[in-house]
Every structure is written in C-alpha cells, then in structure tokens.
Amino acid sequence: MVGLLYLGIDRKLVARMQSRIGPPIVQPYLDVSKLLMKESIIPGGALRWLFQFSPVLCVIGSVALLLYIPLFGHPALFEGSGDAILVIYLLTIPSLALVAGGFASSSPYASIGAQREVVIMIGYEFPLSVVIVSLAWRIMQVTDMNAFSLATMSQYPIWDLVGPLGFVGALLLFISLIVVTPGELGRVPFDVAEAETELAGGIVVEYSGRNLALFYIGNAIRGFAVLSLVVALFFPYGIAVPLGIAGPIPIAIVDGLFFLLKVLVIMVIAIVIVRSSVARLKVDQASILYIMIMTMVSLFGLLLIWADFMIV
C-alpha cells in the first residue's frame, strides 16, 4: 500500500515539475484495481508456465526484501537471519523475474528489453557491492558484531565513525547509491529495458490483466524496499528520543512518520528530480556510467574512508 502511494506521489511531483497537472495520487491504486479485473492474455508462442510464474516471482522477491530491511523505525522482521549480502541477492530476484518473463513471452520487443535489463543489472551491482563492503569494513574497526548486519549498521551510522576525510568518502558512497537507485528500479534515465518509444513497453509488452498487475505491485514494493535500504544504510536515525517523546506507542508513531519522511526525501532526490530533468540514456552509456564511473567513485570513497581511519 505504501509503495503504491509513493508511486502516486512520484508521478504527481514529476508532472508538477514539468508544468503538467498529472494524475491523482491515488492513480496507482486505480490502475491495479482495473488490471486485476481484466483478463490475462497469454501469447500463442509463449512458454506458458514461465510467462505466468514470472510476475508471481517478482512479487515474492520484492516482499522478501521487506523481511530483512528495517522499516518504520523498527528492526527488520527477520533481523539476525540475514544481512546486507542477502539483501543484494534478493534485489536481483525481481529483475531476474522480469528477464525471465520477457524471454518467455516470445516477443522480440520483450527479448530485447530482457537483454537490456541484464546489462543494466550487471552494471549497478558493482557500485552497490562496493558501497555495502565499504560501510561494513569501517564498522568492523569499531565492533566485533556482524558488520554486514543492517541492525549493526543502524547502531553504527557511518557519519558517526569518520572524520572530515572519511565524511567526503561516505558522501561519495551515498552519491553512488543514489545513482544506483533509479537503475535498480528501472526509472528514467535507466529505463532502457522498457523504453516505450523504442520497444513499446519492452519486457512487459505482452503482459496484461492480473499478470501485469502483479508486476506493477512487485515494482511498487521493490521501490519502497530500495528506498528504505538507502535510509537504513545512511540515515538510520530516529527523532522521537531526541525530541523527548516518551512511551512506546508515541515513539513508534513519531519514528514511523519520520521514516516515511526520510524515504520521501530520498525518492525526491534519487528519482523525482532525475526523472523530470534527464533524458533516457542509451544502453552503452548506462553501462559505462555504472561499471566504470560509479564503480570508480565508490572505490574512491572507500579509499578516503580507509585513509581517514589510518590518519586517526
């Protein structure tokens, strides 16, 4: 429900930035409800079982992400059962589901879109992994706890562990993760797998009805999960205790609302502003940006954090 709400806010803000009225914020709910009432048409040459299972797998992978990421100011539901490495693996499941569905549809447009999705996915995995390893390495220097655990990262925010030089390095890591976010979610300028003007919808061109609704829901959940991951890695702070609020219920409400605000701010920075001001990149441009430029930026951030630790 929250993921669909943020989709509606995203579309509304982008429309306003482009001097349009835009759809109502509740439009994603209307789209899903309408799709759920329509028939799912399966192409004649499709691999039927994989074509229908891919949307389900997309939702399953997206929901699994929420089990390991701290949400609304509370620990993850499966805290202690997984860490940031597992989250990186789970992030690939919705993308792989899209790729499988595209190839299974037997559409040339969907096949091209699936190939592009694989290329983009390989590209953003490099800087994402460097960011996770960099944060975990710095935390290892101050505690014997599992440094790759998101709960440990919440207890030891990177900004509290570094000096001026390390702060610049952490800022570079944050910028790398911000650039990874729209690619992870298939948003402009990294929506080359869909590219309506070129591929008529790309991967999901042959999907309709309930199957398309499942992809829509899965992408909404994944979007909220990825934005929540950015918050968990770099801004795991609460606001209730510093404000002097007492009582478990008031603290939970205030920290939950503050968490939603942080997610909204990250969405505006990483998705809304970029989507409203940057045109779609070509596949080779997106690959070079991720594999070479952003990987080098994140590695430089790691070096600065290491240098900061050595100096101190």
> 124-137: per-residue pLDDT in tens?
899 999 999 999 99
Query: Residue 196: is its pLDDT beyond 70?
Result: no
Between CA 42 and CA 208 the distance in angstroms is: 8
Residue 241, pLDDT score: 82
Residue 262, pLDDT score: 95
> 286-302: per-residue pLDDT in tens?
889 998 999 999 999 99
Residue 112, pLDDT score: 86
Residue 223, pLDDT score: 93
Q: Which DSSP category does 244 fall into?
A: T
> 10-63: per-residue pLDDT in tens?
999 999 998 898 899 999 999 999 999 998 888 888 888 999 999 999 999 999
Average pLDDT over residues 216-224: 93
Alpha helices by DSSP H, listed for the chain, are 2-17, 27-36, 48-66, 84-104, 108-140, 150-155, 164-185, 196-199, 209-234, 248-267, 273-277, 283-288, 295-311
| Mean pLDDT (the chain, rounded) | 90
Residue 198, pLDDT score: 63
Q: Over pLDDT 70: what percentage of the chain?
A: 98
Average pLDDT over residues 249-267: 93
Give 227-231's long-range contacts (Cβ < 8 A, gap of 24+). 227/6, 227/181, 227/263, 227/266, 227/267, 227/270, 228/66, 228/69, 228/70, 228/71, 228/259, 228/263, 229/65, 229/69, 229/87, 230/177, 230/178, 230/181, 230/266, 230/270, 231/259, 231/262, 231/263, 231/266
Query: Residue 237: is its pLDDT beyond 80?
Result: yes
> 136-173: per-residue pLDDT in tens?
999 999 988 889 999 999 999 999 999 999 999 999 99
pLDDT, greater one: 194 or 230: 230
In the chain, the N- to C-terminal Cα span, in Å, equals 46
- Nearest residue to 263 (alpha-carbon basis) of 219, 226, 220: 226
Instruction: Please report the DSSP string for 118-183 in residue order.
Output: HHHHHHHHHHHHHHHHHHHHHHHTT-SS-TT-HHHHHHS-GGGT--HHHHHHHHHHHHHHHHHHHH
Torsion 83-88-93-94 (CA) sign: positive
Query: Residue 193: is its pLDDT beyond 80?
Result: no
Report the half-sphere exposure of 229 (CA within 13 A, side-chain side). Answer: 30
> 60-94: per-residue pLDDT in tens?
999 999 999 999 888 898 888 778 999 999 999 99
Rg of the chain over Cα atoms, rounded to whole angstroms, equals 20
Q: Which DSSP category does 202 fall into?
A: G
Query: Residue 200: is its pLDDT beyond 70?
Result: no
Tell the residue number behind the tokens 């290329």, with chain if given. Answer: 119
Average pLDDT over residues 247-265: 92
Query: Residue 236: is its pLDDT beyond 70?
Result: yes
Residue 277, pLDDT score: 85
Are 151 and 230 spatial neighbours (Cβ–Cβ below 8 Å)?
no
Query: Residue 217: is its pLDDT beyond 70?
Result: yes
Query: Which residues does 91 contact at the CB level (< 8 Å), separation at least 6?
Result: 65, 128, 184, 222, 226
Query: Residue 226: is its pLDDT beyond 90?
Result: yes
Count of beta carbons in the 10 Å neighbourhood of residue 291? 17
